[in-house]
Amino acid sequence: MYREPRLLIAGDRAVVIEFGNAVSPEINERVRKLLLRIEKFPIRGVEEAVPTYRSLLIHYNPMLVPLEALRDAVETAVRESMEMPLPKARRVILPTKYGGDRGPDLEYVARYNKLAIEDVIRIHSGTDYLVYMIGFTPGFPYLGELPRSIACPRLSTPRVKVPAGSVGIAGTLTGVYSVDSPGGWRLIGQTPLKLFDEKLDPPSLLRSGDYARFVPTSEEDFKRVESEVRAGKYELEISYLD
Amino acid sequence: MTTIQDLGRFGYRRYGVPVCGGMDSFALRIANALADNSEESACLEMTLHGPTLRALGPCYVALTGADMQPVLNDQRIEMWSAYPMKNGDVLSLQDARRGCRSYMAVSGGFNVPRVLGSRSTYIRGNFGGYEGRVLRRGDILRGEQMSVRSKVRYLGREDIPDYLESPKVKVLIGPQDDFFTEKGIETLLSSEYEVTPESDRMGYRLKGPPIEHSGEPEIISDGVAVGAIQVPGSGMPIVAMRDAQTTGGYPKIANITYVDLEKMAQLRPGDKVKFEQVELEEAHLLLHQYMQQLENLRKKIKERDVAPEFPDEETLLRLQGAIT
């Protein structure tokens, strides 16, 4: 973490407030605190803000706020956000069918790490993962930190189409493909939940600062949940962490 | 390729939803002004080649952007103008003569549902616009509270932008200029880059002298603003356009200014571009001037609302100031 966050110019309508140069929950927390502060005490001219691992991208309208005024307001917000308590984090359960057609790389991940398939499932589903940020495609959560014992490099050639809901591993990250898209992460399973639905507001199931927990399910349960989701009858399992 | 676009989808980038919207918002805004719409009304964005459209009722349409040589029934008409159409009239657009994108507004705006606050099509996400997709033969578009004017409206010739095939585009260096050598930044600012065929609403992939990184060509993923010039390991720049993903892991050497990104949006494969550095104060000044100019043009368009009904081409050209 930097002693003082850096303000970087990202064109004539955005600035980056960068808190550090590492993937860490502490740095990410500072990003989320600043976002929360800006939401609670809006800064004139700020249109929207995008939290990522270690920085907040602030989009502003220079017709409404000159850079100097924005810089002052952001500096104040950064300072005061340090003391801001974050609300209790949501912990969202993602029922997941591991292996088979739904997780074609599960065997490879086990072999790569010299583990049994059951061990990979046990380890992957044995941790709460922090949602660092949403990006890549609408609703795609970047989750960490993946236990090193099941880490695995990306595919050298990405797949042309990865089905929505696929759970993947890339290095020490794990994530869930939110929409059908090309992708190079190792696929170990699939959740029947919709990570992105443009008919909802917010459209993303997960948000920066949530935790996600994968829970292994049978193929039968996968199908049941899938049809409940489709019918709009599925009730998310959410708890709140201190 | 034709899609429905408005000014864009704001407030959802934190959920990974790209901003979308018209690539050339100047042309889109003027189309709306000519059609007497509010500036956020939805228009057709037509890329490189325009469609043929038949009016199923009276309407009033405005055309701006790249010259697609429009013909209304049998009469050649001008871009940057608005015309009444009656039931059965056929408007056909051809290849863009210069530039890449044209816009068509209909008085009242196209009536497609708003998705997350916007009518813009997000092609890769399959939502927004007309059923979340590119328009196809046989689609029927509906207007919203269509009003029909009988006069032709137009933008003065002196106010029509020139779409150059090798423009200079202003950039602000950063936010990751420290990921490049001095030579790398110099390369960006002194070379000419060509737009490759792998360019679309998501990104413009450029080809030219490779830009040198000072270390790894990778950052911890962070937010990407529209107009960002990302440089992957190949050293070939990729400009983030309206449908670009909201986060990314390539270092960003610079961002194109808001005003000049529209020049970029009118480039087509094979066109060339040069980048020149500006400081933020100057970019903001230019942005203020641009917004002021838009305001003035809107006023001018309204004041000029005195053209005779349906002038022939010569009369219109005279009105526009092209011939005297």
DSSP assignment of B199-264 equals --SSEEEEESSPPPBSS-S--S-EE--TTEEE--TT---EEE-TT--SEESS-EEEEE-HHHHHHH
Contacts of A53 in chain B (CB under 8 A): 220-222
Contacts of A203 in chain B (CB under 8 A): 12, 15, 17, 116
Cα separation, B236 vs A195, whole angstroms: 33
| Whether residue B178 has pLDDT greater than 60 | yes
Task: Give yes or no for a contact between B39 and B33, defined as CB atoms under 8 angstroms apart.
Answer: yes
For residue B85, the surrounding DSSP H or E stretch is strand B81-85
Lowest mean pLDDT among A42-56, B91-105, B302-316: B302-316
Q: B135 and B19 in one domain?
A: yes
For residue B83, the surrounding DSSP H or E stretch is strand B81-85
Phi/psi at B170 (5° precision):
-85, 140
Residue B287 within a domain: no
If pLDDT is split at 50, 70 and 90, which confidence band does B149 have?
A: confident
Contacts of B176 in chain A (CB under 8 A): 8
Tokens standing for B260?
A: 């000049």
Q: State whether B287 and A9 contact (CB < 8 Å).
A: no
Of A136 and B175, the one with more pLDDT: B175
pLDDT for residue B148:
76
Taking the Cβ of residue A1 and every Cβ of chain B, the question of whether any pair is shorter than 8 Å is answered with no
Taking the Cβ of residue A63 and every Cβ of chain B, the question of whether any pair is shorter than 8 Å is answered with yes
Interface of B with A (CB under 8 A): 10-18, 115-116, 124-125, 127-128, 172-176, 220-225, 227-228, 245-248, 252, 255-258, 280, 283-284, 287-288, 291
Q: State whether A134 and B115 contact (CB < 8 Å).
A: no
Residue B315 within a domain: yes
Q: State whether B16 and A204 contact (CB < 8 Å).
A: yes
If pLDDT is split at 50, 70 and 90, which confidence band does B147 have?
A: confident
| Whether residue B220 has pLDDT greater than 90 | yes
Task: Give yes or no for a contact between B240 and B203, defined as CB atoms under 8 angstroms apart.
Answer: yes
Domain of residue B210, CATH code = 2.40.100.10
Beta strand spans in chain A (E): 6-9, 14-18, 46-51, 55-60, 89-98, 129-134, 141-144, 159-162, 166-170, 173-176, 181-183, 186-190, 211-216, 238-241
pLDDT for residue B257:
98
Of A227 and A182, the one with more pLDDT: A227
Beta bridge partners of B172: B255
pLDDT for residue A242:
78
pLDDT for residue A158:
87
Domain enclosing residue B179, as ranges: 168-278
Share of chain A above pLDDT 90, in %: 94
Cα separation, B206 vs B276, whole angstroms: 16
Taking the Cβ of residue A134 and every Cβ of chain B, the question of whether any pair is shorter than 8 Å is answered with yes
Overall domain count for chain B:
2
DSSP codes of every residue in B98-119:
SSSEEEEEETT-B----BTTB-
Beta bridge partners of A187: A168
Size of chain B, expressed as the number of residues it contains:
324
pLDDT for residue B304:
72
Q: B175 and B155 in one domain?
A: no
* This prediction's pTM: 0.94
Residue B284 within a domain: no
Minimum-distance CB partner of B16 among A9, A59, A134: A134
Contacts of A140 in chain B (CB under 8 A): 16
Task: Give yes or no for a contact between B193 and B208, defined as CB atoms under 8 angstroms apart.
Answer: yes
Residue range B273-292: average pLDDT? Answer: 97
Residue B23 within a domain: yes
CA B224 to the chain's CA centroid = 19
Q: State whether B16 and A196 contact (CB < 8 Å).
A: yes
pLDDT for residue B322:
54
Q: B155 and B65 in one domain?
A: yes
Q: State whether B174 and A9 contact (CB < 8 Å).
A: yes
Cα separation, A12 vs A59, whole angstroms: 9
Cα separation, B16 vs A141, whole angstroms: 9
Cα separation, B202 vs B248, whole angstroms: 13
Contacts of A138 in chain B (CB under 8 A): 12, 15-18, 125
Contacts of B291 in chain A (CB under 8 A): 63
Strand ordering across the sheet containing A6-9: A6-9, A14-18, A55-60, A46-51
| Whether residue B106 has pLDDT greater than 60 | yes
Residue range A137-151: average pLDDT? Answer: 95
If pLDDT is split at 50, 70 and 90, which confidence band does B311 have?
A: low
pLDDT for residue B34:
95
Taking the Cβ of residue A24 and every Cβ of chain B, the question of whether any pair is shorter than 8 Å is answered with no
If pLDDT is split at 50, 70 and 90, which confidence band does B310 have?
A: low
Residue range A111-133: average pLDDT? Answer: 97
Residue B6 within a domain: yes
B228–chain A nearest CA distance, Å: 7
Q: What is the CATH number assigned to the segment(s) A89-241? A: 2.40.100.10
pLDDT for residue B294:
96
Q: B143 and B228 in one domain?
A: no
Q: What is the CATH number assigned to the segment(s) A6-81? A: 3.30.1360.40
Query: In degrees, to the nearest 5, what angle opens at C-alpha B65 toward C-alphas B62 and B68?
Result: 85
If pLDDT is split at 50, 70 and 90, which confidence band does B306 have?
A: low
Q: B155 and B176 in one domain?
A: no
| Whether residue A61 has pLDDT greater than 80 | yes
Q: B300 and B152 in one domain?
A: yes
B22-59: per-residue pLDDT in tens? 999 999 999 999 999 999 999 999 999 999 999 999 99
| Whether residue B324 has pLDDT greater than 70 | no
Contacts of A57 in chain B (CB under 8 A): 13, 222-225
Tokens standing for B312?
A: 């022939």
A74-118: per-residue pLDDT in tens? 999 999 999 999 999 999 999 999 999 999 999 999 999 999 999
Residue B149 within a domain: yes
Q: State whether A16 and B256 contact (CB < 8 Å).
A: no
Task: Give yes or no for a contact between A11 and B228, defined as CB atoms under 8 angstroms apart.
Answer: yes
pLDDT for residue B319:
58
Chain B: residue whose CA lies nearest to A48: B11
pLDDT for residue B315:
62
Tokens standing for B184?
A: 């790398």
Residue range B114-123: average pLDDT? Answer: 98
pLDDT for residue B82:
94
Residue B109 within a domain: yes
Minimum-distance CB partner of A10 among B17, B18, B228: B228
Share of chain A above pLDDT 70, in %: 100
Q: B145 and B177 in one domain?
A: no
Taking the Cβ of residue A69 and every Cβ of chain B, the question of whether any pair is shorter than 8 Å is answered with no
Residue B41 within a domain: yes
pLDDT for residue A210:
98
Q: B305 and B250 in one domain?
A: no
Q: State whether A135 and B247 contact (CB < 8 Å).
A: yes
Interface test with B, best of A12, A23, A179, A206 (most B CBs within 10 A): A12
Cα separation, B5 vs B102, whole angstroms: 11
B230-281: per-residue pLDDT in tens? 999 999 999 999 999 999 999 999 999 999 999 999 999 999 999 999 999 9
